[in-house]
């Protein structure tokens, strides 16, 4: 099976099933491994920043080696086994269905004016306190979360899969998992997670630029205003809360904030189309 068909198959699986509870997911495995490795690395190296670099290098190296070995082992057993592992690695790097479902749950709760439920759903998406958010702040937080993860959960994994195959998609997701685990601006991870956060920004540098045009295309297909969205992204792209963050990632996110619901709608339409085909 060609790489293109593997990617399409993995995308269709994600749109149909999302991330089923209990199903082995490579990204979750990497996050657990990183958290298990952290105490040992901190004991080995006193400097948090140097320990964070070593932890990131070890996780990426060992996880990549494990995925490569698994692919080689599967290929030695049967070509279809290799295909199945390849699809699983790509499928595990995608989260289009999960993003669409999470955004829709918040939207439904807000539509029936159930702010308590909306806050609860948003708290599952963001890493900050939601208890005092009003309706507008809750919606904004949900849009921001889906916007950010539209890049690292859909566009970037697909780009890496097309360019570098299943191993490339897995390695990208490994870097993204490190960023989500260690890349926090708190006392515990400010120095330890600096390198992981920098790798995450670097890995998203090109996908963020691509995201701008994908979202503008979505706006055009849905009869909205793609040129206005591009102007907004260009206007706000130079505004950087973090001086270490590349401006075009901010630029992409500025557009993504406005176009998230469009992306979720596209995913939902694709899913409904697939269900109609197979029903």
Could you tell me the residue range of the domain that residue 68 belongs to?
3-278
Could you tell me the sign of the dihedral formed by the alpha carbons of 193, 199, 202, 207, in that order? Answer: negative
- pLDDT tens, 233-261? 676 665 544 433 444 444 444 444 444 44
d(CA 10, CA 71): 16
Is the distance from CB of 17 to CB of 97 less than 8 angstroms?
Answer: yes
Question: Which residue's structure tokens are 């992306």?
Answer: 263
Would you state the pLDDT for residue 58?
95
Would you state the pLDDT for residue 122?
82
Q: Residue 129 — left, alpha, or beta (φ > 0 → left; ψ -120 to 50 → alpha)? A: beta
pTM here?
0.78
How many structural domains compose the chain?
1
Would you state the pLDDT for residue 259?
47
Q: Which residues of the chain have pLDDT under 70?
A: 127-128, 229, 233, 235-279
- pLDDT tens, 61-82? 999 999 999 999 999 999 999 9
Would you state the pLDDT for residue 128?
67
Enumerate the H helices of the chain as residue ranges: 3-17, 26-44, 48-77, 79-93, 96-111, 115-123, 135-150, 156-182, 194-203, 205-221, 226-236, 247-278
Is the distance from CB of 30 to CB of 59 less than 8 angstroms?
Answer: yes
Task: Name the token pair of 108.
Answer: 């439904």
Would you state the pLDDT for residue 71?
96
d(CA 74, CA 85): 7
Q: In terms of Cα–Cα distance, which of 195, 222, 200, 214 is closest to 252? A: 214
């Amino acid at each position: 099976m060609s790489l293109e068909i593997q990617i399409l198959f993995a995308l269709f699986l994600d749109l149909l099933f999302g991330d089923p509870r209990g199903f082995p997911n490579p990204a979750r495995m990497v996050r657990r491994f990183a958290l298990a490795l952290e105490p040992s690395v901190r004991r080995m190296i006193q400097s948090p920043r140097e320990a964070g670099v070593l932890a990131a290098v070890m996780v990426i190296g060992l996880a990549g080696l494990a995925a490569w070995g698994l692919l080689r082992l599967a290929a030695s057993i049967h070509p279809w086994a290799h295909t199945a592992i390849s699809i699983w690695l790509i499928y595990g790097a995608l989260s289009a269905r999960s993003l669409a479902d999470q955004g829709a749950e918040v939207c439904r709760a807000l539509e029936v004016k159930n702010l308590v439920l909306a806050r609860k759903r948003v708290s599952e998406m963001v890493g900050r306190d939601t208890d005092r958010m009003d309706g507008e702040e809750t919606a904004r937080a949900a849009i921001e979360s889906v916007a950010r993860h539209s890049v690292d959960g859909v566009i970037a994994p697909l780009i890496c899969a097309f360019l570098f195959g299943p191993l490339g998609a897995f390695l990208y997701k490994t870097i993204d998992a490190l960023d989500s685990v260690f890349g926090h601006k708190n006392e515990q991870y400010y120095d330890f997670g600096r390198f992981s956060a920098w790798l995450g920004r670097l890995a998203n540098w090109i996908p963020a630029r691509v995201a701008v045009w994908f979202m503008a295309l979505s706006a055009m297909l849905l009869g909205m205003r793609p040129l206005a969205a591009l102007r907004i992204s260009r206007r706000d792209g130079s505004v950087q809360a973090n001086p270490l963050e590349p401006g075009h990632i901010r630029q992409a996110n500025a557009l993504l904030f406005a176009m998230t619901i469009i992306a979720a709608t596209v995913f939902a339409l694709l899913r409904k189309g697939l269900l109609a085909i197979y029903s």
